[in-house]
């Protein structure tokens, strides 16, 4: 139960923070709604939600013992909620060399990098 609380509370905090940003951006700022997943591989919002939920469950199952799981889970959950509330992920960060993205995408990427680096360091010992 302790482990569950250590994962759930930070995950919910990140998710709520990211959802607040999505809400504010969707009302006040220029943004785009992305109903695809991973560089446009899926065109249906429903399929993207199902795939995202399956990925979230797999990530939780695989990385349950990792203390940085909350980064991946919070980012993925926030994108799922965007899809449910706005019928697409609210993207608002535009870089000239990369497709438009959001803070949840960055948090997912950072979480994956931290877990990958930790795993590589652990394996090299």
The Cα-based distances of 96 to 57, 84, 86, 105, 124 in angstroms read 33, 28, 25, 17, 37
Give me the sign of the Cα torsion angle 58, 56, 13, 8.
negative
Residues paired with residue 91 on neighbouring β-strands, in sequence order = 32
Active-site residues, by number, are 91, 105
Residue 34 burial class via C-beta count within 10 angstroms: exposed 0-12, middle 13-18, buried 19 and up: buried
Instruction: Give how far the C-alpha of residue 57 lies from the chain's centroid of Cα atoms, to the nearest Å.
Output: 13
Instruction: Give how far the C-alpha of residue 48 lies from the chain's centroid of Cα atoms, to the nearest Å.
Output: 13
């Amino acid at each position: 139960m302790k482990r569950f609380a250590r994962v759930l509370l930070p995950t919910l905090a990140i998710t709520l923070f990211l959802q607040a940003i999505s809400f504010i951006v969707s009302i006040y700022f220029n943004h785009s709604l992305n109903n695809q997943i991973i560089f446009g591989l899926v065109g249906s919002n429903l399929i993207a939600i199902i795939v995202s939920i399956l990925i979230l469950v797999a990530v939780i199952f695989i990385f349950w013992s990792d203390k940085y799981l909350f980064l991946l889970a919070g980012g993925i959950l926030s994108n799922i909620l965007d899809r449910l509330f706005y019928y697409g992920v609210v993207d608002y960060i535009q870089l000239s060399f990369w497709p438009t993205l959001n803070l949840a995408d960055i948090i997912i990427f950072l979480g994956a990098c931290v877990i990958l680096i930790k795993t590589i360091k652990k394996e090299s010992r």
